[in-house]
């Protein structure tokens, strides 16, 4: 019996050892398989050649460029790098290491491949480039230009994937400078770019539209930090940022219309347009979320389409545009209706009516009323403007108000700092569902 038991123990140990060796062999086989996840490709040429052999996990067009010490190295173009990132599974990166000083201009003569796999395209990786550090304006140094001068009918970059980032590029002279499109176009970020300008961000080299979000959700144009600020200006034939049929996207922290200094208007037809798309956000209530939207030939922000509801327009600096700062329905100022029962873009949310704005020795008090849906709580935001203007240049605070059973509420509001005599005050109302109104009629600040 003891011998039999001993044999069983020995057999059990041998079996366990066999399983261990099999598992080890399997792990070694897995480790031996090539893994292409999180590969970084380095663009070293402004040429436009495609990748030569996709099945080789390297960006190589079959041409060479001078490397360190003049030794030839395989050429990697932006087109070839996108070829490889689309073929290679995992979240890849495209960095830039193009020899020489100055701005490197890439001017494709045909459409670049649509981005179909997660990738980060980082123009700030080019030697000499650096992101913005300023709270006002931008001191970003951009060294990679994606120019549509040779193919203006095409789009600069098209993102059809999720979780991708495009930053640190100058994108100009295309149909759409950058387009986000497709059911899989989710949670992408466009940050720290100049879109529609030259490499200094001071001259117009417009696209037809700067950034177009055609479908997808959770995409962010800009961000809340200085480094994430895009300058999206000079797009003189279309909209700076256009969102069509796409929901849950954010436009935050950008200059839409001004140049990189924030002091000169390069403009566009309209700043931000949301068409047939619900539940998007322009600006926001967190620090750094406001956009500066100014100097556009038409509207600052336009919302269009009966299903374009729940679109929040919050805390932005909107001024010096050719048409209303906010336009629901793309038809000019919309009159309030009793009980706010009409429908349309943002449900044609009624705007506040300001009755007075008075400044004393230390404070300003704004009084007004809102008529809208009964027994609902609305966010009323207030803005200060130069004398005689009626948009929303300086956000000065907000107040929650709740309507009674008849849909009415009166309010009084005092900003943290008093507003100078002669300036005007405007206000917007945002419904519980997120639909923001047009700006109210302005009320001039007078002495108390």
Task: Tell me the pLDDT tens digit for each residue of 362-402.
Answer: 999 999 999 999 999 999 999 999 999 999 999 999 999 99
Q: How far apart are CA 74 and CA 61, in angstroms?
A: 7
CA dihedral of residues 270, 272, 273, 278 (deg, nearest 10): -160
User: In which element (H, E) is residue 5 found?
Assistant: helix 2-32
Are 307 and 221 part of one and the same domain? yes
In the structure encoding, which two tokens stand for residue 159, read together?
């993102």
In the structure encoding, which two tokens stand for residue 249, read together?
């996207």
User: At 190, phi and psi to the nearest 5?
Assistant: -125, 110
pLDDT at 268: 85
Give me the half-sphere count of Cα atoms (radius 13 Å) on the Cβ side of residue 252: 24
∠ CA 143-130-233, rounded to 5°:
65
In the structure encoding, which two tokens stand for residue 236, read together?
């003189």
Average pLDDT over residues 284-312: 97
Helices (H) and strands (E) in the chain, counts: 2, 34
Average pLDDT over residues 143-151: 98
Q: Is residue 145 part of a domain?
A: yes
Are 320 and 446 part of one and the same domain? no
Are 257 and 113 part of one and the same domain? no
Q: In the chain, how many domains are there? A: 3
Task: Tell me the pLDDT tens digit for each residue of 34-57.
Answer: 444 589 999 999 999 999 999 988
Q: Contact at 8 Å (CB) between 409 and 330? A: no
Q: Which of 79, 104, 127 represents a domain boundary (last residue)?
A: 127
Task: Tell me the pLDDT tens digit for each residue of 82-132.
Answer: 999 999 999 999 999 999 999 999 999 999 999 999 999 999 999 999 999
Q: The domain that contains 361 carries what CATH number?
A: 2.60.40.4070
Are 183 and 115 part of one and the same domain? no
Say yes or no to pLDDT of 9 above 70: no
Are 314 and 379 part of one and the same domain? no
Q: How far apart are CA 279 and CA 151, in angstroms?
A: 34
Distance of CA 421 to the CA centre of its chain: 36
Task: Tell me the pLDDT tens digit for each residue of 214-251.
Answer: 999 999 999 999 999 999 999 888 899 999 999 999 99
Percent of the chain scoring above 70 in pLDDT: 92
Host domain of residue 429 = 351-448
Are 59 and 148 part of one and the same domain? no
Write the DSSP assignment of 143-200 as a string of letters.
-EEEE-TT-TTS-SEEE-SSS-EEES-EEESSSEEEEE-STT-BS-EEES-EESB-TT
Are 424 and 357 part of one and the same domain? yes
Q: Is residue 23 part of a domain?
A: no
Average pLDDT over residues 253-268: 95
Are 193 and 81 part of one and the same domain? no
Q: Is residue 275 part of a domain?
A: yes
Q: Contact at 8 Å (CB) between 318 and 293? A: yes
Q: Is residue 267 part of a domain?
A: yes
Q: How far apart are CA 402 and CA 83, in angstroms?
A: 55
Are 152 and 120 part of one and the same domain? no
Q: Is residue 7 part of a domain?
A: no
Task: Tell me the pLDDT tens digit for each residue of 323-353.
Answer: 999 999 999 999 999 999 999 999 999 999 9
Q: How far apart are CA 192 and CA 180, in angstroms?
A: 17
Tell me which residue has tokens 């700043």. 271
Are 144 and 278 part of one and the same domain? yes
Q: Is residue 284 part of a domain?
A: yes
Q: Is residue 20 part of a domain?
A: no
406-438 burial: b if 16+ Cβ within 10 Å, else e? ebebebebbbeebbeeebbbbbbbbbebbbbbb
In the structure encoding, which two tokens stand for residue 443, read together?
């009320």
In the structure encoding, which two tokens stand for residue 409, read together?
């509420």
Q: Is residue 420 part of a domain?
A: yes
Q: Which of 285, 301, 332 represents a domain boundary (last residue)?
A: 332
pLDDT at 42: 98
Are 307 and 185 part of one and the same domain? yes
Q: Contact at 8 Å (CB) between 416 and 384? A: no
Q: How far apart are CA 124 and CA 417, in angstroms?
A: 39
Tell me which residue has tokens 């979240």. 91
Are 205 and 263 part of one and the same domain? yes
Say yes or no to pLDDT of 15 above 70: no
Q: Contact at 8 Å (CB) between 73 and 64? A: yes
Which is higher by pLDDT, 314 or 236?
A: 314
Say yes or no to pLDDT of 1 above 80: no
Q: How far apart are CA 354 and CA 334, in angstroms?
A: 16
pLDDT at 37: 55
Q: Which of 127, 157, 181 represents a domain boundary (last residue)?
A: 127
Q: What is the mean pLDDT of the chain?
A: 92
Strand partners, 428: 381
């Amino acid at each position: 019996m003891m011998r039999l038991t001993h044999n069983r123990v020995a057999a059990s140990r041998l079996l366990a050892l066999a399983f261990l060796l099999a598992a080890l062999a399997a792990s070694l086989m897995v480790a031996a398989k090539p893994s292409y996840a999180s590969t970084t490709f380095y663009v070293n040429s402004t040429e436009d050649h495609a990748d030569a052999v996709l099945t080789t996990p390297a960006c190589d067009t079959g041409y060479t460029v001078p490397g360190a010490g003049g030794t030839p190295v395989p050429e990697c173009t932006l087109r070839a790098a996108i070829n490889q990132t689309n073929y290679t599974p995992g979240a890849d990166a495209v960095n830039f290491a193009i020899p020489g000083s100055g701005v490197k201009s890439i001017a494709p003569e045909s459409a670049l491949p649509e981005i179909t796999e997660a990738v980060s395209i980082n123009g700030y990786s080019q030697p000499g480039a650096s992101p913005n550090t300023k709270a006002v304006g931008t001191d970003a140094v951009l060294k990679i230009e994606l120019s549509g001068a040779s193919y203006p009918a095409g789009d600069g970059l098209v993102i059809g994937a999720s979780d991708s980032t495009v930053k640190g590029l100058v994108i100009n002279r295309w149909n759409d400078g950058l387009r986000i499109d497709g059911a899989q176009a989710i949670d992408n970020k466009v940050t720290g770019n100049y879109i529609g300008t030259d490499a200094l961000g001071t001259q117009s080299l417009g696209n037809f539209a700067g950034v177009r979000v055609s479908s997808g959700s959770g995409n962010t144009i800009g961000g809340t930090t200085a480094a994430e600020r895009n300058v999206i200006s000079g797009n003189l034939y279309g909209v700076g940022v256009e969102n069509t049929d796409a929901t849950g996207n954010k436009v935050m922290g950008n200059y839409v219309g001004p140049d990189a200094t924030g002091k000169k208007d390069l403009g566009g037809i309209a700043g931000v347009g949301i068409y047939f798309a619900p539940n998007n956000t322009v600006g926001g209530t967190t620090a750094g979320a406001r956009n500066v939207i100014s100097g556009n030939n038409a509207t600052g922000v336009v919302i269009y389409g009966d299903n374009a509801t729940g679109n929040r327009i919050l805390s932005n600096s909107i001024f010096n545009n050719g048409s209303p700062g906010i336009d629901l329905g793309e038809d000019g100022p919309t009159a309030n209706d009793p009980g706010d029962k009409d429908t349309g873009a943002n449900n044609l949310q009624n705007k506040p009516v300001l009755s007075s704005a008075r400044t004393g020795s230390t404070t300003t008090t704004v009084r007004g009323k809102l008529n809208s849906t009964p027994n609902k709580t609305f966010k009323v935001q207030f803005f200060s403007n130069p004398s005689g203007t009626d948009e929303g240049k300086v956000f000065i605070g907000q107040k929650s108000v709740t309507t009674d059973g008849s849909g009415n509420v009166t309010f009084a509001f005092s900003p943290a700092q008093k507003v100078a005599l002669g300036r005007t005050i405007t206000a917007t109302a945002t419904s519980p569902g997120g639909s923001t109104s047009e700006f109210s009629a302005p009320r001039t600040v007078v002495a108390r």
